[in-house]
């Protein structure tokens, strides 16, 4: 219907990480997409691709740009190889769902079928893709009894997951996957913890890193680091640990020692709320695992209660949040049971503080970008200077060598000077890398947070339990429930955005009719926002710095 009115983007993505290794290459994905376009006679306005490097797995700039262009009305359809090319986490999934429900995206074509905005099948498909295609493929194949088929030609070249190692023989076809004696027991511990149904992904990560001192394998390029939540999340949904892996589009049984049984794998998928969600009968609480009791410090949990509605005599289930009272009722005076609706209301009140109208958000970005251009230039000059300095040091090193060869310099003196210069070069190179990093990152960070605040209240309202929890985790940490009040430590940027929101709220009448950014630039509001923009940028910078220190990946 109305096919000719919909403009499509083709979107292809492949990352070099984990299970995505098994996906089609970007050119092959685009080939498939073009076949769909030709077959259905669709109008394609642009082709967009992302290939995330293993170094920055969360970086997907072109996807964000595509979503932005869709919001601007440049296209309202996407052609993609599989839906799992689109959403990768619950926040992205929530946004995509919102765009579909509001009809901003009207159609998504995949190799299998078309999904339309009114179509609940897409929601289910997206949900399933979140669980990775694996568990679904796995159950089908197991049912067919194909799991007994072992590859005849030894172990295919797949990368060992955390907890395993690849042997490094030079002879082809003789390599295998073996147990990593150091990390295997820790990963098994992680599986045990999730199977208790009592810990969130974040808690398990923290237990592994802090109580068991988990560190990834170090290499010559990188020292070992604590386990990242994303890695653990992938592990829990990866059939590799149950002894199965994807290779060339098919699921195979590995000849290595599985860490968990298939039953355990299935149970974990269920605990992660995937399978049952498609069938949708079991209730998942959004805020458990997120909050602690403000009196005794133990976790807040939820329970369901049947309540009779007096007017209709019907029973309805309600969810209530309350303290787990692990220490016993005597240790905790809090007897309140907070209805889910009241919890949501308190969070929505918080989200309202940072929800900014799209037009104003756009102006903020434009304003900040003006300063960014100046700074970009300054930073680039600084970078060029630093590079020059590096070259000069290299040259000095060459001269020293010449002097050593001609005998003008003693061996001892030469070595001393060489060490000195080399250390200087290393320091200068580090500075170059830092400069390059900071030039690129902060403006995208600012945009990411501002994008996040767009329609945040609506996305929270229609989002499922996972979207709701993700949003909470995104805006702050250390959530506490005490005396029916919800408290949490807001990220620094929260206050800057709140200040922006308050400002625009006050200036609403004056700015309401204004259309263009050029007009806006002449106002006092522009100068004000410019100042807040600086603060916002600093907040994000400090937050990133703390994050780096916490994960110990890089020291400033």
- Residues of this chain that bind Zn ion (CB under 5 A): 293, 295-296, 323, 332, 334
Q: Are 321 and 336 in contact (CB under 8 A)?
A: no
Q: Please, are residues 348 and 455 in contact by the beta-carbon 8 Å criterion?
A: no
* Of 212 and 295, CB closest to Zn ion: 295
Query: Is the distance from CB of 421 to CB of 393 less than 8 angstroms?
Result: yes
**Exposure pattern of 91-111 as b/e (b: 16+ CB <10 Å)?**
bbbbbbbbbbeeebbbbbbbe
| Closest distance to Zn ion from the beta carbon of 484 (Å) | 13
Determine the Cα–Cα distance for residues 479 and 486; give it in Å rounded to an integer.
7
Pick left, alpha or beta for residue 328 (phi over 0 → left; psi -120 to 50 → alpha; otherwise beta): left
534 close to 440: Cβ distance less than 8 angstroms? no
Q: Is 267 exposed, middle or buried (0-12, 13-18, 19+ CB in 10 A)?
A: middle
**How deeply is 523 buried, as exposed, middle or buried, from its count of CB atoms within 10 A (0-12, 13-18, 19+)?**
middle
Beta strands in 227-283 (DSSP E): 244-247, 250-253
Alpha carbons 506 and 361: distance in angstroms, whole number: 15
Q: Phi first, then psi: what are they for 427, rounded to 5°? A: -65, -40
Long-range CB contacts (within 8 A, 24+) of 396-400: 396/421, 397/421, 397/422, 397/425
Output the smallest distance, CB 325 to Zn ion, in A.
6
283-319 b/e with 16+ CB inside 10 Å = b? Answer: ebbbbbbbbbbbbbeebbbbeeeeeeeeeeeeeeeeb
Q: How many CB atoms lie within 10 A of CB 391?
A: 12
CA pair distance 538, 170, nearest whole angstrom: 50
Nearer residue to Zn ion within complex by CB, 295 or 414: 295
Beta strand 291-293 with 250-253 is unpaired
- Please list the alpha-helical segments (H only) found in 454-480: 456-462, 465-475
Identify the burial level of 130 via C-beta atoms within 10 angstroms of its C-beta, where 0-12 means exposed, 13-18 middle and 19 or more buried.
buried
Nearest distance from residue 331's CB to Zn ion, in Å? 7
Cβ–Cβ < 8 Å for 151, 252 = yes
Contact 235, 186 (CB under 8 A): no
């Amino acid at each position: 219907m109305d096919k000719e009115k919909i403009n499509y983007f083709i979107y292809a993505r492949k990352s070099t990480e984990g299970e995505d290794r098994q996906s089609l290459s970007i050119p092959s994905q685009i080939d498939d997409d073009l076949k769909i376009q030709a077959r259905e006679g669709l109008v394609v306005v642009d082709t967009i691709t992302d290939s995330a490097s293993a170094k920055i797995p969360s970086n997907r700039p072109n996807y964000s740009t595509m979503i932005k262009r869709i919001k601007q009305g440049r296209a309202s359809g996407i052609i993609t190889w599989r839906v799992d090319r689109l959403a990768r986490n619950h926040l992205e999934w929530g946004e995509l769902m919102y765009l579909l429900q509001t009809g901003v995206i009207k159609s998504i074509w995949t190799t299998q079928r078309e999904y339309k905005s009114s179509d609940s099948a897409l929601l289910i498909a997206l949900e399933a893709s979140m669980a990775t295609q694996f568990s679904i493929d796995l159950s089908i194949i197991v049912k067919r009894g194909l799991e007994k088929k072992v590859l005849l030609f030894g172990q295919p070249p797949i990368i060992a997951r955390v907890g395993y190692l690849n042997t490094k023989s030079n002879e082809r076809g003789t390599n295998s996957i073996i147990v990593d004696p150091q990390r295997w027991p820790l990963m098994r511990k992680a599986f045990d913890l999730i199977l208790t149904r009592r810990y969130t992904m974040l808690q398990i990560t923290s237990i592994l890193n802090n109580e068991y001192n988990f560190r990834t394998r170090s290499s010559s390029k990188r020292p070992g680091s604590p386990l990242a939540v994303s890695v653990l999340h992938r592990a829990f949904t990866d059939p590799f640990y149950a002894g199965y892996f994807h290779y060339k589009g098919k699921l195979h049984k590995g000849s290595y020692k599985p860490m968990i049984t298939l039953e355990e794998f299935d149970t974990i998928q269920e605990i992660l709320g995937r399978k049952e969600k498609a069938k949708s009968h079991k209730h998942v609480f959004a805020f458990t695992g997120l909050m602690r009791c403000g009196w005794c410090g133990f976790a807040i949990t939820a329970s369901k209660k049947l309540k009779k509605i007096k007017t209709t005599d019907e029973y309805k289930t309600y969810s209530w949040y309350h303290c787990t009272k692990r220490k016993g009722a005597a240790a905790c005076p809090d007897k309140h049971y907070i209805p889910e609706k009241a919890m949501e209301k308190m969070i929505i009140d918080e989200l309202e503080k940072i929800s900014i109208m799209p037009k104003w958000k756009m102006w903020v970005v434009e304003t900040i970008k003006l300063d960014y251009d100046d700074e970009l230039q300054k930073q680039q000059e600084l970078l060029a200077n630093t590079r020059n300095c590096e070259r000069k040091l290299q040259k000095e090193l060459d001269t020293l060598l010449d002097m050593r060869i001609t005998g003008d310099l003693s061996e001892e003196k030469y070595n001393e000077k060489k060490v000195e210069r080399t250390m200087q070069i290393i320091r200068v190179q580090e500075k170059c890398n830092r400069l390059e990093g900071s030039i690129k990152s902060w403006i995208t960070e600012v945009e990411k947070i501002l994008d996040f605040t767009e329609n945040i209240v609506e996305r929270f309202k229609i989002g499922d339990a996972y979207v709701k929890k993700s949003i909470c985790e995104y805006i702050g940490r250390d959530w506490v429930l005490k005396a029916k009040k919800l408290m949490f430590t807001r990220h620094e940027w929260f206050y800057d955005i709140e200040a922006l929101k308050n400002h625009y709220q006050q200036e609403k009448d004056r700015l309401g009719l204004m259309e263009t950014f050029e007009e806006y630039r002449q106002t006092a509001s522009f100068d004000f926002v410019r100042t807040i923009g600086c603060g916002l940028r600093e907040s994000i910078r400090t937050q990133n710095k703390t994050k780096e220190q916490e994960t110990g990946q890089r020291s400033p």
